[in-house]
Amino acid sequence: MPIFEYSCNACGNEFETLVRASAPAPECPGCHSTELHKKLSTFAAIGASSSMASEMPMGCGSCGHPGGPGACQFDS
What pLDDT shows up at residue 8? 96
Based on its alpha-carbon atoms, the radius of gyration of the chain, rounded to whole angstroms, reads 19
32 within domain boundaries? yes
Which candidate, 45, 46, 44, 40, places its Cα nearest to that of 4?
40
Helix (H, G, I), strand (E, B) or coil at 52: helix
What pLDDT shows up at residue 13? 95
**Do residues 48 and 38 touch, judged by C-beta distance below 8 A?**
no
21 within domain boundaries? yes
24 within domain boundaries? yes
Domain encompassing residue 33: 3-42
What pLDDT shows up at residue 7? 95
pLDDT category at 72 given cuts 50, 70, 90 is low
**Do residues 66 and 56 touch, judged by C-beta distance below 8 A?**
yes
Task: Return the bridge partners of 66, or none.
Answer: none
- Structural domains in the chain (count): 1
> 18-58 pLDDT, tens per residue?
888 888 889 999 999 999 999 987 766 666 555 555 555 55
What pLDDT shows up at residue 3? 84
